[in-house]
A and B are shown apart, each in its own frame.
Chain A
Amino acid sequence: MHRHLHVGDRLPPHVNAPIERSQLVRYAEASGDSNPIHIDEDFARRAGYRSVFAHGMLSMGFLGRFLSDSFGPAAVRRLHVRFKAITWPGDVITCHGEVTGVSEKDQRQVLELKVWTENQDATVTSEGSATVVLHQA
């Protein structure tokens, strides 16, 4: 079905479950990111934030999942994200993607995509690009 993707096509947006503090603890453990600013309320407040906040990499993880749901994990060859706004507990992050390029290499279709996440207020929290290599052109 991906063979019919064209420049300008958008992937169906994916809405993730609301961010929970327990998820930040799980993500910290699974990713090995031990920065207490994501899990220790007192530490986050002392650093000047209103509470703990999500790892930027959690939103990038959502984007990776968004792409692997469409194309499979092995197809994602490059993913670049800029973190634009902080994601707080309770935020609902939606993943978006739009095809910006379609080409062929070694008889495989190569897609370039613009990808981004928005929170429930439609604020863009991260944005970037991806390269996806499909098995057959």
Chain B
Amino acid sequence: MSQDPTPLASSPLRQHIGRTSAPRTVEIDPGHIARFAEAIGDPNPIYRDEAVARAAGHPRIPAPPTFATALRPNDVRQGLDIDWSRILHGEQEFRYERPLYAGDVLTLTHVLRDVYEKSGKSGVMDFLVLDIEARDPAGVLVYVGRSVVVVRRLGEDGNKPQGGR
């Protein structure tokens, strides 16, 4: 009912900062690139026809700039106490050391980098900073995908906020 005057209780997820998933190795399939391009409404034949890609100077079919999101690691959030219906995607960044192409073999790890909490107009929210690191078979970093996801805490309606005392 009344506003809690005490400082924000830190998220119990904080204890998992640094947690890293088991690596998962994937190979980029050209058909997957084509389906992804279709889903984002991109008709560019460069994603569907290797001859077109080569004519444009690519060694193989390139991946669209956000295709890395379709390469899924073992999810480090598995097994954590997270209500998936209360999650929103806050931010995303991809940093590529080189372009991605069909046929690339990548080993993905998922790391929980940070957890912090903020109070906003819709209540208390926990922010999770998650990195996906992708390396080639030689161990060279190919890209980092960083997500910030927001978990709205329960509260106000009689439920104790997660992490409340």
Contacts and interface: CB of A to CB of B under 8 A. Distances in A.
Chain B interface, DSSP helix/strand/loop, else mixed: mixed
A136 B51 CA distance: 23
Interface string A64-76: 1101110011101
Interface string A55-91: 1111011111101110011101111111100000000
Contact of A47 (B42, B64, B85): B85
B66 A82 contact: no
Contact of B92 (A17, A57, A68): A57
Contact of B89 (A55, A69, A74, A80): A55
Contacts of B128: none
Contacts of A80: 91-94
Given A26-B38, A69-B44, A61 B64 contact: yes
Contact of B91 (A32, A76, A82): A82
The listed residue with most B CB atoms (<10 A of its CB), out of A27, A35, A58, is: A27
Contacts of B70: 30-32
B77 to A, nearest CB: 12
Contacts, number: 111
B34 to A, nearest CB: 9
A65 B36 CA distance: 11
- Which among B38, B39, B41, B65 has the greatest number of chain A C-beta atoms within 10 A? B65
B8 interface: no
A78 B89 contact: no
Interface stretch (B55-63, B113-121, B133-141): B55-63
Given A17-B41, A29-B39, A78-B96, A73 B90 contact: no
B87 A35 contact: yes
A33 B64 CA distance: 17
A73 B58 CA distance: 10
A37 B152 CA distance: 15
A62 to B, nearest CB: 6
Contacts of A79: 65-66, 93-94
Nearest to A71: B65
Contacts of A16: 41
A61 B38 CA distance: 11
Interface of A: 16-17, 23, 26-27, 29-33, 35, 37, 43, 46-47, 55-58, 60-65, 67-69, 72-74, 76-83, 128
Given A29-B35, A61-B66, A65-B42, 6 more contacts: A17-B41, A29-B39, A61-B39, A61-B64, A78-B96, A83-B91
6 contacts: A35-B87, A68-B44, A73-B47, A76-B65, A77-B96, A78-B93
